[in-house]
Amino acid sequence: MPTIQCLNPDSMAKPLAAYSNIARVKASEYLFIAGQIGTDKNGKAPADFEAQCALVFEAIGAALASQGGGFANVVSFTSYLVHSQDIAKFAAYRAREFQRLFPGGAYPPNTLLIIDRLVAEAALIEIQTVAAV
80, 93, 98, 102: which one binds a second copy (CB under 8 A):
80
By CB under 8 A, is residue 9 in contact with a second copy?
Answer: yes
By CB under 8 A, is residue 59 in contact with a second copy?
Answer: yes
30, 99, 103, 105: which one binds a second copy (CB under 8 A):
30
CB of 102 closer than 8 Å to CB of 72: yes
CB of 104 to a second copy, least distance (A): 17
Number of residues binding to a second copy, judged by CB under 8 A: 55
CB of 125 closer than 8 Å to CB of 81: yes
CB of 19 closer than 8 Å to CB of 107: yes
By CB under 8 A, is residue 33 in contact with a second copy?
Answer: yes
Q: How far is CA 85 from the centre of its chain?
A: 18
